Amino acid sequence: MTRVLVSGGTGTVGRFIVEHLLAHGYKVTVGGRTPPAPDFFSRAVAHVPLHLDPDLDQIDAFENIYYFVHAAFAHVPGKYRGGEGDDPDGFRRANLNGSVRLFEAARDAGVRRCVFLSSRAVYGPQPPGTVLTEDLPARPDTLYGRVKLDTERSLQALCAHNFTTASLRVTGVYGEAGPGRDHKWRGLVADYLAGRPAAPRAGTEVHGDDVAAAVRLMLETDPMRINGEVFNVSDVLVDTRALLSIVQQATGCPQPLPAKADVDAFCPMATERLRMLGWQPGGMPRLQATLEALSRTQ
């Protein structure tokens, strides 16, 4: 049974990755500051202390680890963009320098593959309607995006025939919330049901389990096809009106829907590179089924 270390495994996205890998026969170790609660995952997982601190030698955390999935990210609670708060230097040191130190420790410990969860924020502002392909010049306009891009490049510089690396540029992740947490649309749904207005907005979404499936592809695909590469992970482009129309149908709420957003002006992410490896996300049917279920338990 292959052992995988997932940093940030109790996070919003990390939880999906852990559960997906467990369901597909992997032996998962979660790396983080504190162990997960006994009932946090569907089955027991091992835990090792892991920190985003470039001053620490953490090579022992990678003992007997075959693959490393790096989903940890240090930020102000509830914020990614702007997550540096009033400490941009500390934010960069933890998330860039700390990540690189973990990559180096993994490589030196004999880990075979390393997957980094990056973000669509690396693209920065682009002309309206631009399709975001992986070879498009990145021009992040936030510290969050710059740190993600620099971390991607640092990992790519470490790739070798015995250390396969890949980065996944992930867009907005949705899905059932973990224990003790609310799903990402709870506030939006609550406002709609209460008759409070919602601003028109478009965005790209992907289910957390589909992100996890992309991670698993990075662990199982021929290394020659992924080594040193980046892949977009996105599924559907949808606006607030379309989301709330699903809620309206699921609940019978008579509240009016917001105006349509200008979806054509939004920049979608191309995913052909990942789909060519066999990735098949759930599309609009999965989003609709998920949001219907979440709406009924609101």
Q: What is the pLDDT of residues 28-54, one digit of tens each?
A: 999 999 999 988 999 999 999 999 999
Residue % of the chain over a pLDDT of 70: 97
Q: What is the dihedral of CA 69, 266, 181, 84, to 10 degrees?
A: 70
Q: What is the pLDDT of residues 134-166, one digit of tens each?
A: 999 999 999 999 999 999 999 999 999 999 999
Q: What is the pLDDT of residue 297?
A: 82
Q: What is the pLDDT of residues 196-222, one digit of tens each?
A: 999 999 999 999 999 999 999 999 999
Give the burial class of 27: count Cβ atoms within 10 A of its Cβ; 0-12 exposed, 13-18 middle, 19 or more buried. middle
Distances (CA, A) of 297 to 16, 186, 289: 20, 10, 13
Distances (CA, A) of 203 to 86, 166, 264, 267, 276: 28, 25, 11, 9, 24
Distances (CA, A) of 288 to 19, 118, 275: 22, 26, 21
Which among 106, 128, 129, 131 has a CA at the least distance from the CA of 116? 106
Distance CA 140, CA 96 (A): 15
Which among 216, 205, 88 has a CA at the least distance from the CA of 146? 88
Average pLDDT of the chain? Answer: 94
Give the burial class of 138: count Cβ atoms within 10 A of its Cβ; 0-12 exposed, 13-18 middle, 19 or more buried. buried
Among the residue ranges 81-90, 101-110, 168-177, the one predicted with the least confidence is 81-90
Instruction: Tell whether the model's pLDDT for residue 180 goes beyond 90.
Output: no
Among the residue ranges 108-112, 183-187, 236-240, 242-246, the one predicted with the least confidence is 183-187
Three-state SS for 33-70 is: CCCCCCCCCCCCCEEEECCCCCCCCCHHHHCCCCEEEE
Instruction: Tell whether the model's pLDDT for residue 1 goes beyond 90.
Output: no
Secondary structure of residue 244 in the 3-state scheme: helix
Distance CA 266, CA 184 (A): 20
Tell me the domain boundaries of the chain.
3-172+208-233
Q: What is the pLDDT of residue 232?
A: 98
What's the whole-number mean pLDDT along residues 101-111? 98
Q: What is the pLDDT of residue 77?
A: 64
Instruction: Tell whether the model's pLDDT for residue 79 goes beyond 80.
Output: no
Q: What is the pLDDT of residues 112-124, one digit of tens each?
A: 999 999 999 999 9
28 φ, ψ (degrees, to nearest 5)? -105, 135
- Encoded tokens for 23: 């369901």
Task: Please state whether the predicted TM-score (pTM) of the whole model is above 0.85.
Answer: yes
Q: What is the pLDDT of residues 279-289, one digit of tens each?
A: 999 999 999 99
Domain boundaries 3-172+208-233, corresponding CATH code:
3.40.50.720
Cβ of 249: how many Cβ atoms within 10 Å? 13
Q: How confident is the model at residue 179 (pLDDT cuts 50, 70, 90)?
A: confident
Q: How confident is the model at residue 193 (pLDDT cuts 50, 70, 90)?
A: very high
